[in-house]
Amino acid sequence: MPSILESVLDANRRYALNFGDKKNLAMPPARRFAILTCMDARLDPAKFAGLNEGDAHVIRNAGGRASDDAIRSLVISYKLLGTREWFVIHHTDCGMETFTDEIMRGLLAKSLDHAVLESDGWHDRGSGSGTSEAQYIDWLTIRNQEESVVDDVQRLRRHPLVPPWIPIHGFLYDVRSGVLQPVAAASAIGAAK
Ligand code: ZN
């Protein structure tokens, strides 16, 4: 069985063989929109939103949250690269619903090994020592899926670096069906003015 590294490089060799016209793609996204979504491995924005190389910006982090760094990317996306419509897409069964700041800080204070999710929550099975460094990070966990979409669209809408003319749509992606479910309250807040 090939290593992770070998399998990635092998796939890349095959990809590059058929690279073709993609060498001519321009830097600004051709379809002029950006998606902010979760890093969850079950979500493939290129597939669920019909993207090809060069079409759109996809900004991903744990939860698809409107963190300071996500905002940095979105501002660059419109200001320098011409996007004019944004999507905030969270999803069902998100890992960010399974813990709180307190739990994450506790796990990392115990060890830097993998933690395990059991029916009663996360447990640290590692050995060695952890660190208190986790207390300085806001882990941006999620308590309610729709609420987190509304909160993030609201943060973007009110942000002084985000112009009022960019429509910001809120959605929940259903990991059981692949369907994008609209979050009406979020899109109402995110409407262009
Ligand atoms: Zn997620």
Task: Report CA(39)–ligand 1 centroid distance (Å).
Answer: 6
Question: Each residue of 92-129: b (16+ CB within 10 Å) or e?
Answer: eebebbebeeeebbbbbebbeeebeeeeeeeebebeee
Task: Report CA(148)–ligand 1 centroid distance (Å).
Answer: 11
User: Does 3.40.50.920 match the CATH number of domain 29-98+140-193?
Assistant: no
Task: Report CA(69)–ligand 1 centroid distance (Å).
Answer: 17
Task: Report CA(93)–ligand 1 centroid distance (Å).
Answer: 7
Task: Report CA(87)–ligand 1 centroid distance (Å).
Answer: 15
> What average pLDDT does range 109-113 have in this prediction?
96
Residue 5 DSSP one-character state: H
Task: Report CA(23)–ligand 1 centroid distance (Å).
Answer: 32
- The per-residue pLDDT of the chain, averaged, comes to 97
- Taking only the tens place, the pLDDT of each residue in 62-84 is 999 999 999 999 999 999 999 99
For residue 115, give the amino acid letter. Answer: A
Task: Report CA(20)–ligand 1 centroid distance (Å).
Answer: 34
2 — pLDDT class (breaks 50, 70, 90):
confident
- Taking only the tens place, the pLDDT of each residue in 130-181 is 999 999 999 999 999 999 999 999 999 999 999 999 999 999 999 999 999 9
Which tokens in the block code for residue 78?
Answer: 């419109």
6-15, 56-65, 119-128: which range is least confident on average?
A: 119-128
User: Which whole-number Å values give the CA distances from 146 to 45, 99, 139, in the listed order?
Assistant: 19, 17, 18
Please give the span between the terminal C-alpha atoms of the chain, in angstroms, as a whole number: 55
Percent of the chain with pLDDT over 70: 100
The residues placing their C-beta within 5 Å of ligand 1, an ion, are: 38, 40, 94
At residue 32, does pLDDT exceed 90?
A: yes
Task: Report CA(188)–ligand 1 centroid distance (Å).
Answer: 23
Task: Report CA(64)–ligand 1 centroid distance (Å).
Answer: 7
Task: Report CA(18)–ligand 1 centroid distance (Å).
Answer: 32
Distance between CA atoms of residues 35 and 58, nearest Å: 5
What is the reported pTM?
Answer: 0.96
CB-based contact 134:105 (threshold 8 Å)? yes
Query: Domain locations in the chain?
Result: 29-98+140-193, 100-138
